[in-house]
Chains A and B, each alone.
Chain A
Amino acid sequence: MTNKPHPLSMASLPGLDKRYRAEKRFKFAGVLAVFSSLAFLGFLIVAIALKSAGAFQTYEVEILVKKEKYLELRDQPFIFLQSTMRYNLSGVVNGQAMREAVNMVVDGAEIDLLDHIENLQQNTRADGLGSYSVWVTLSNRVVSALSKQDIGTNLTARQQAWVEGWVANNKVRQRFNVGFLTNGDSRDPERAGIGSALVGSAFMLLVCMVLSFGVGILAAIYLEEFAPKNKYTVFLEVNINNLATVPSIIFGLLGLSVFLNLFGLPRSAAIVGGMVLALMTMPTIIIASRLALQSVPLSIREAAFSVGASPLQTVFHHVLPLALPGMLTGTILGMARAIGETAPLLMIGMLAFIVEAPDNIFDPASVLPVQIFLWAESPERGFEEKTAAAIIVLLAFLLVMNLTAIILRKKLEKKW
């Protein structure tokens, strides 16, 4: 004990160091709680991002097609594919080898080949033989063997030799998978994309925004600026606050029994989904809009009244423009909730297998979160990375929407 504390200092109190240690532990528990919550978030995003990596890129192989074979066999696509594979790969001697050869490229590659050749008639190779060179997507099995760098796992010896030959001759190329963002759903993981789901989500969000923003701000204006303080308006307020906490699946049940069964609107259409989501997000928008109206100072209203504006003129010409940024922020945040909502959409039949993008809001549509759900439930392994990639796209949209809301709030909102 070289540094004995002064008898009158705090440090000489009995048990004080123990209490300080308890203090440190308590604070550490708080830091730990915050840190582990955030760590979980980071873990979630990183884990899903890692799983998604493969879905954003695709591998293609250069296939040579003899012109005369194309002209001869173009009405029999599968035989055409077989002959092409025989021409491109050595050792296709029996049925088994042919099956393995065809399995090297994606299902339906014959249609791709014919499509490419029809669109690129002039693109013949300059080797004088008059053959076409076409890049064809590789099958999932070959891709996973290539991307994991160990060729042996899922391929037969013959297939391995072919892959090695292709790689050695630079016939394989890696590309960003544009199809993932533009294609519709498919039974083949290699071809499945989120294109039509994105269109469906856009339609649904449009319906949802028009309805919930319109009704939401009007309701907020009434409650905040005009409603007398009586038991009806109190009931209305309690009602709205409670609606905000009703489980989303209940809104789905409402949509099913009212919009589908009573009004007879089409199943799995964007309009029904949008209406259900609008009912769901409306309370949030009303609450946010009321806060925005409350933050406009009373003096603005008094000034408007004093120059003879009617109550409605006061609100619509003076208060509303000032409150609008806050309302918009609330709406964007509400939309960010709506875009990821899945459960109520399952109730109104939005989980059908839909390939084509919808043309209008009455067409059957598939939306992004439901597409994620469907792929996640699919037993085929190839869909796992597609699911993860679709989630990354969804999270990116959410990030953009939330950032927009934050920037909007910073830029436009006035501090009074």
Chain B
Amino acid sequence: MTVIMSKVWVDVCPLEKLIPGRGVCALVGGLQVAVFRIVGEEIYAISNFDPFSRAFVLSRGIVGSKAERLKVASPIYKQSFDLDTGVCLDDATVSVRTFEVRVEGGIVQVASP
């Protein structure tokens, strides 16, 4: 028997609630996910967990860029994480997990793993 694992898309909030350049934290299947809106419908989702401080805070960091990479800086000790890959830009041996994200009918959704 073949089990087809279909994704479950969890609602985060209406798109217009997200401030461009800022993040929010959503609870997705029991996990804390940091969701960031850059501009328009350009949205990224990574774990809210900051491995350096071990606190769940990445959604409260400042979004920016390093060279061509979009990133968020942890508000606690300021390490930056690549929004696309979750890799820490200050220490490539550390990374956080990333999540699929989409806008459906004006609602931002994150795929529950």
Do these two chains interact? Answer: no
